Amino acid sequence: MSTQPQGFLTPEEYLRIEHAAERKSEYVNGRVYAMAGASPRHVLVAGNVTGACWSRLRGGPCRIYTSDLRLCVDETGLYTYPDVVIVCGEPRIAESDPQSITNPVVIFEVLSPSSEAFDRGGKFAHYRSLATLKEYMIVAQDAVRVEKYARQPDDSWLFTEAAERGKSIWLDSVGCELPVEEIYSNVVFENS
C-alpha cells in the first residue's frame, strides 16, 4: 500500500474509478491508496507461492487467485488485492462489485517495506472479520520466513513460523504442505 492516500470517497465512487483505472488502488475507510509497484523478488516469491499451491491443489475444489483479483471485506469495507488467495468451492462475488470476491479460505501477503506494517496490523484486522478465512500467511521477501496465523475454534489465531529452507508449512484448511524451499526457489538474498 502506498503511504499517500488520495481524497475521501464512497465505496461506489472508488469502484467506478477503479474499474476505469490503469493502476490498482486499495480502498480503506473511505481513502484510496495507490498501490506501489512490486520488486522483482516480491513478484518471484508471490509466483512461487502460486505455483506451489497450484501444483498441490489442482483438480480439487480449491482455486488459486493472484493479485489481479480484488477482495472485498464486506464487514469492514476494505477493497484490496492480496498477493495470493485460495478459495474453496465457488468464489462468492461481492454484491457491491462483480469483480471482487468475498470468501477466501487462505490469504498470502508477501511483505514489502511500504506495506509491512499495514499487512501485519490493520489489514490483518480487516481480514479477521472474514468468516471464511482460516489461515493468513505472511511471507517475507528479504529473508526466508513464512508466518502462519490459523483461526482456532474459539476465533483466536495461532501463530507458527517456518524460517529455514528445509522446513515446510502445513495449510490445514486446504490439506496441503508447502515446502519453504519452493516458496523461495531461485530467490537470492544479498547476504547469501
Q: What is the pLDDT of residue 6?
A: 54
Average pLDDT of the chain?
93
Alpha-carbon separation of residue 62 from 74, 88, 113, 152, 168 (angstroms): 22, 4, 30, 21, 20
What is the per-residue pLDDT across 99-144, written as a single tens digit (0 to 9) for each? 999 999 999 999 998 889 899 999 999 999 999 999 999 999 999 9
Name the residue among 156, 159, 154 with its Cα closest to residue 138. Answer: 159
Contact assessment for residue 150 and residue 172, using Cβ atoms and an 8 Å cutoff? yes
Per-residue confidence at 60, pLDDT binned at 50, 70, 90? very high
| Domains defined along the chain, listed by start | 38-183 (3.90.1570.10)
* Burial of residue 120, with CB atoms counted within 10 A of its CB: 0-12 exposed, 13-18 middle, 19 or more buried: middle
Nine cell digits for residue 107: 490469504
Instruction: Cite the DSSP H helix spans in 21-121.
Output: 40-57, 116-120
Per-residue confidence at 2, pLDDT binned at 50, 70, 90? very low
Q: Give the span between the Cα atoms of 154 and 140, in whole angstroms.
A: 28
Q: What percent of the chain has pLDDT over 70?
A: 95
Cβ of 22: how many Cβ atoms within 10 Å? 4
Q: Average pLDDT in the 19-40 region? A: 88
Q: Give the span between the Cα atoms of 3 and 91, in whole angstroms.
A: 31
